[in-house]
């Protein structure tokens, strides 16, 4: 797939067209990319009709190697904050992946501001009186 980046002023965002992406479609290589994402905590683009009609950038929570099937448990969210209804997939359900070198950031925690009460609660330590 080829895409090129351009700014669409009517939408106020970048649109990607004509930039080269080499999606991985080989089953063994897909599994390698998913295991690597799990080990490294890196983001991975996953295309599966079970998720929807798009490639979602997410992470891998668990890879379960079973006798007759390999089960992939994805993070429950993607990088945009979209929550998946179904985040447990058979390897057979995944048609292609695209590996990223960047770590997957939780979009919900990423939006917490340091000055808010939630930030202080999450990062507080209990008193040892």
pLDDT at residue 79 in the model: 87
Note the pLDDT of residue 2: 37
pLDDT at 105: 80
Fold of 24-111: SH3 type barrels. (2.30.30)
Per-residue model confidence as pLDDT tens digits over 41-78: 999 999 999 998 889 999 999 999 988 899 999 999 99
Q: Where are the domains of the chain?
A: 24-111
pTM over 0.75: no
Contact partners, residue 58, CB within 8 Å, separation at least 6: 43, 44, 46, 74, 75, 77, 78, 79, 84, 87, 104
List the chain residues with pLDDT less than 50: 1-3, 5, 129
């Amino acid at each position: 797939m080829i895409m090129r980046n351009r700014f669409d002023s009517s939408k106020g965002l970048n649109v990607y067209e004509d930039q080269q992406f080499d999606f991985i479609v080989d089953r063994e290589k897909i599994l390698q990319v998913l295991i690597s994402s799990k080990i490294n905590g890196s983001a991975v683009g996953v295309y599966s009709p079970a998720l929807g009609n798009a490639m979602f950038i997410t992470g891998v929570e668990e890879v379960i190697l079973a006798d007759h099937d390999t089960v992939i448990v994805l993070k429950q969210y993607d990088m945009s904050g979209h929550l998946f209804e179904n985040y447990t997939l058979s390897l057979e359900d995944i048609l292609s992946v695209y590996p990223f070198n960047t770590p997957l950031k939780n979009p919900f925690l990423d939006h917490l501001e340091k000055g808010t009460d939630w930030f202080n609660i999450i990062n507080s330590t209990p008193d040892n009186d």
